[in-house]
Amino acid sequence: MKPYEIWKSITQREMTQDQYNAFWKEYLDKETAIYKEILENEALTLKGSISSLSETFKVEETTFTGFLDGINSSLKHPLALESLETDTPIEGEIDLEALYYNMHDAKAKWLYNLNAWETLLSKETRKSIKNDFRQSVMIKKEDRPGRNDPCHCGSSKKYKKCCLAKDEAADRAAETAD
């Protein structure tokens, strides 16, 4: 199996709630450490391979593949993740503004609040990205179904029994994003 397939199969395997929480906590701690290193050193191009980069960041190849999965939409030219082997050469230039936005979108406060952002993006830029994010949350809000209508995610459950709580959490994250 290719690295991306392995990563997906790990994240999609059957887990109890405790295993799930433990898995993501461990992953997110490692992910945060990688982001810190990249942002603090302004090492804004990921160059090498899954194998060499996982050594650089001292994580397992699967963990680094998960990291790539997360950052891919914030690269100037997203990688063809599915086709990567551990030794396929990769070069991914990080689009800082996209990354900062996507960290808000993922509600990853511990990432968009990293100190390094203060030197990487000006205060005005950060503010305008936050505003764009808030705006997008408001638009999503207007499109939402009523509590008893079918959920907009296509699950065929009622909205209140499905994504309502998640959407409300997103609203709260947007309100406190400053």
User: Coil, strand or helix: which one is 159?
Assistant: helix
Q: Are 73 and 38 in contact (CB under 8 A)?
A: no
Closest CB to Zn ion among 126 and 158?
Answer: 158
Selected range binding Zn ion among 63-71, 77-85, 155-163, 169-177, rule: CB under 5 A: 155-163
Using CB under 5 A, pick the residue from 111, 151, 173, 177 that binds Zn ion. 151
User: CB-side exposure of 168: number of CA atoms within 13 Å?
Assistant: 8
Closest CB to Zn ion among 129 and 151?
Answer: 151
Q: How many residues bind Zn ion (CB under 5 A)?
A: 5
Using CB under 5 A, pick the residue from 80, 106, 153, 169 that binds Zn ion. 153
Q: Which of residues 89-108 bind Zn ion (CB under 5 A)?
A: none
Q: Are 4 and 64 in contact (CB under 8 A)?
A: no
92, 80, 72, 91: which is closest to 2 by C-alpha? 80
Closest CB to Zn ion among 80 and 153?
Answer: 153
Element (H, E) at 91: strand 90-93
Q: Least separation, in Å, of the C-beta of 73 and Zn ion?
A: 21
Selected range binding Zn ion among 51-59, 102-110, 125-133, 157-165, rule: CB under 5 A: 157-165
Distance CA 22, CA 165 (A): 22
**Which residue is listed with tokens 């406190």?**
176
User: Coil, strand or helix: which one is 89?
Assistant: coil
Q: Is 170 in the site for Zn ion (CB under 5 A)?
A: no
Q: Least separation, in Å, of the C-beta of 171 and Zn ion?
A: 15
Q: Is 155 in the site for Zn ion (CB under 5 A)?
A: yes
AA identity, residue 84: L
Query: Which residues contribute to the site for Zn ion (CB under 5 A)?
Result: 151, 153, 155, 162-163
